[in-house]
């Protein structure tokens, strides 16, 4: 008899709650809209009036990288207020519904061929993703009881949905743009998001038990964010740290040169408040176990920033490199640039089960397979993918163009690294986050992802002065070194988790044999 723990009154399909597949398809269409638009964003901004796909904005590469960095960061940083809105007011389920509706409006607005529509559309997408992204992931975790070994598998299935949406978008949207222009591509993203909203609406009965509005009792037990901040004056040390950070942020942000100095000022002030919030949450935790786990969770967010700072080059520097310096002719057909971003999603669908099985078999053999080890290993593998971009740059410098094979190999390594790291990090947050702040901590996870996106934009800007070769080499060195550092510190870090991952129900013989059959 299987030892998997089931939530009461849940219908199941293929060994998982039906609600997982509702969230799967909702997220699939949301990611179709997001990655479809992301694949177009930078090349649309730098496209000139005589571009083959129609007139673009005609910006410089530096301006495009700047906006790309801010956009990717804000898309995820707004997950923090999105998580608070869910935790304190609406619940995750209604906040996801609100986010999906705003996203339909945002992508629809981008389809309008007008300067104001471009910025309004991006703003709405930022708000919509902030409401939807952290809360739908938290709901996936809520489908499973604590200790249910199916949780990681459920997140892996959910992650396949994310990448199926990305693959469909990047495969189709480049063709649509080539035939009907940029705004037809943006409009297609809006239609996809509408499909996602409809799936979510009609699947409500299967997720009725998760993500509901906080009850009166839960609100009484919970500690509000404002109350946490009000306690800052009671700790002179924490008040001093916060004051110094805030003063430094104001000085550095508003004395920085550049047209976006105001953005850096706001960012640094925001980060000061985040640090203050983290100090207060740490102080409010009742036990040392919760505090230790909270510290490990914050360290994992540093891994997230490093990982996505490198990985998000796909939508920025690598996208421009593909458009301008790669020989994209295949059997007489010019492969659209967005299709190369689809390699990542395609490899994920092909390799997700294989990578998951490798880790599952390691765990069965009592080998190291903790979440932190997977995340560090994934960061190293992903970073090594940029070795192939170094080869591409050298070939371009020698011949005036580089072959597509370097991009294929780079995306392959990026994908394997992502499969080791990203689905696991989502699950890791749900295991270690204090229950009171579940959505907020998921919001902070996505905010860390967004900060990684900003780092990616900054690296793209620096390529203007340092060159692609230096940037790609630097990414390889830093990601590998940082990943190895985390692995070196693994034992003390695992002790601080106090067995958060040790209580998962072990697979029985039938399930272990299932892994063998899946691999064969």
Nearest to 310 by CA among 215, 449, 174: 449
Same domain membership, residue 369 and residue 316 = yes
**6 inside domain:** no
CATH number at 436 reads 1.20.1250.20
Is 32 inside a domain boundary? yes
Residues 215 and 242 in one domain: no
Whether 3 is covered by a domain: the verdict is no
Write a three-state SS string for 336-388.
Answer: CHHHHHHHHHHHHHHHHHHHHHHHHHHHHCCCCCCHHHHHHHHHHHHHHCHHH
Residues 107, 239 within the same domain: no
CA 317 to CA 69: how far, in whole Å?
11
Listed residue (158, 85, 62) closest to 430, CA to CA: 158
Residue 66 lies in a domain: yes
Is residue 5 included in any domain, yes or no? no
> In this structure, are 362 and 496 located in the same domain?
yes
Angle at 75 between CA 172 and CA 209, to 5 degrees: 90
Integer Cα distance of 466 and 392 in angstroms: 16
- Residue 1: predicted pLDDT: 34
Residues 344 and 402 in one domain: yes
Residues 6+ apart with CB under 8 A from 138: 83, 86, 92, 211, 430, 438, 439, 442
Query: CA 360, CA 337: separation in Å to the nearest integer?
Result: 36
DSSP tag of 506: P
Q: Is residue 162 part of a domain?
A: yes
pLDDT of residue 497: 82
Query: What range does the domain containing 206 cover?
Result: 12-222+285-519
When divided into structural domains, the chain yields a total of 2
Contact 452, 313 (CB under 8 A): no
Number of neighbours of residue 161 by Cβ within 10 angstroms: 20
Residue where one domain finishes, among candidates 239, 259, 284: 284
Do 271 and 395 lie in one domain? The reply is no
Q: For the chain, which ranges sit under pLDDT 50? A: 1-8, 505-520
Q: Residues 257, 117: one domain?
A: no
353 in the same domain as 227: no
The reply to whether 4 falls in a domain is: no
Helices (H), strands (E): how many in the chain?
21, 4
Whether residues 213 and 236 share a domain: the answer is no
Phi first, then psi: what are they for 517, rounded to 5°? -65, -40
For the full predicted model, state whether its pTM sits above 0.85. no
Say what the pLDDT of residue 278 is.
79
Helix 371-384 with 468-488: angle, nearest 10 deg:
160
pLDDT for 4: 40
Q: List 333's β-bridge partners, or say none.
A: 330
In this structure, the answer to whether residues 267 and 310 fall within a common structural domain is: no
Structural contact between residues 509 and 3, judged by C-beta atoms closer than 8 angstroms: no
Secondary structure of 363-375 in the HEC alphabet?
Answer: HHCCCCCCHHHHH
What is the per-residue pLDDT across 328-362, written as a single tens digit (0 to 9) for each? Answer: 888 888 888 888 888 888 898 888 888 888 888 88
d(CA 173, CA 492): 47
Neighbours of 61 (CB within 10 A): 18
What is residue 215's predicted lDDT score, i.e. its pLDDT?
67
Q: Would you state the pLDDT for residue 315?
A: 79
Residues 444 and 487 placed together within one structural domain of the fold: yes
One domain for residues 138 and 257: no
Residue that is written with structure tokens 């993703």 in the block: 129
- Among 262, 284, 306, the domain boundary falls at 284
Please state the three-class secondary structure of 179-213 as a single string: HHCHHHHHHHHHHHHHHHHHHHHHCHHHCCCCCCC
């Amino acid at each position: 008899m299987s030892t998997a723990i089931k939530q009461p009154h849940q219908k199941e399909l293929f060994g998982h709650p039906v609600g997982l597949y509702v969230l799967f398809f909702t997220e699939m269409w949301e990611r179709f809209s997001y990655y479809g638009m992301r694949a177009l964003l930078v090349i649309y901004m730098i496209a000139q009036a005589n571009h083959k796909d129609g007139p673009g904005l005609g910006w410089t590469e530096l301006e495009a990288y700047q906006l790309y960095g801010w956009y990717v960061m804000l898309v995820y940083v707004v997950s923090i207020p999105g998580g608070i809105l869910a935790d304190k007011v609406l619940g995750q389920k209604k906040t996801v519904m609100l986010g999906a509706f705003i996203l339909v409006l945002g992508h629809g607005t981008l389809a309008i061929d007008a300067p104001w529509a471009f910025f309004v559309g991006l703003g709405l997408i930022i708000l919509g993703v902030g409401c939807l992204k952290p809360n739908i992931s938290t709901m996936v975790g809520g489908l499973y009881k604590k200790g249910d070994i199916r949780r990681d598998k459920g997140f892996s299935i959910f992650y396949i949905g994310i990448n199926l949406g990305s693959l469909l978008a990047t495969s189709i949207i480049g063709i649509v743009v080539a035939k009907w222009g940029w705004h037809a591509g943006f409009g297609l993203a809006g239609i996809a998001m509408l499909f996602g909203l409809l799936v979510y609406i009609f699947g409500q009965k299967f997720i009725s038990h998760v993500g509901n509005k906080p009850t009166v009792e839960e609100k009484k037990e919970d500690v509000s964010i404002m109350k946490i901040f009000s306690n800052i004056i009671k700790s002179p040390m924490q008040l001093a740290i916060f004051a110094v950070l805030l003063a430094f942020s104001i000085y550095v942000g508003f004395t920085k040169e550049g047209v976006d100095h105001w953005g850096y000022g706001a960012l640094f002030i925001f980060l000061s408040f985040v640090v203050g919030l983290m100090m207060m949450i740490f102080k409010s935790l009742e036990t040392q176990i919760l505090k230790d786990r909270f510290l490990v969770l914050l360290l994992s967010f540093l891994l997230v920033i490093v990982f996505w700072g490198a990985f998000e080059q796909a939508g920025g520097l690598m996208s421009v490199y593909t458009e301008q310096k790669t020989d994209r002719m295949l059997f007489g057909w010019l492969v659209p640039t967005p299709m190369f971003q689809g390699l990542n999603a395609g490899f994920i669908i092909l390799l997700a089960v294989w990578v998951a099985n490798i880790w599952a078999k390691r765990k069965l053999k009592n080998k190291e397979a903790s979440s932190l080890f997977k995340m560090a290993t994934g960061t190293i593998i992903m970073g090594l993918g940029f070795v192939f971009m170094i080869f591409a740059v050298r070939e371009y410098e020698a011949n005036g163009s580089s072959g597509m094979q370097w991009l294929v190999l780079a995306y392959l390594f990026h994908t394997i690294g992502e499969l080791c790291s990203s689905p696991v990090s989502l699950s890791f947050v749900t295991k270690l986050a204090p229950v009171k702040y579940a959505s907020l901590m998921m919001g902070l996870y996505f905010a860390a992802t967004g900060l990684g996106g900003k780092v990616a934009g900054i690296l793209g800007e620096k390529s203007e002065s340092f060159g692609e070769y230096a940037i790609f080499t630097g990414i390889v060195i830093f990601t590998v070194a940082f990943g190895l550092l985390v692995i070196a510190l693994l034992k003390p870090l695992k002790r601080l988790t106090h067995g958060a991952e040790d209580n998962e129900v072990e697979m029985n013989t039938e399930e272990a044999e299932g892994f063998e059959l899946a691999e064969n």
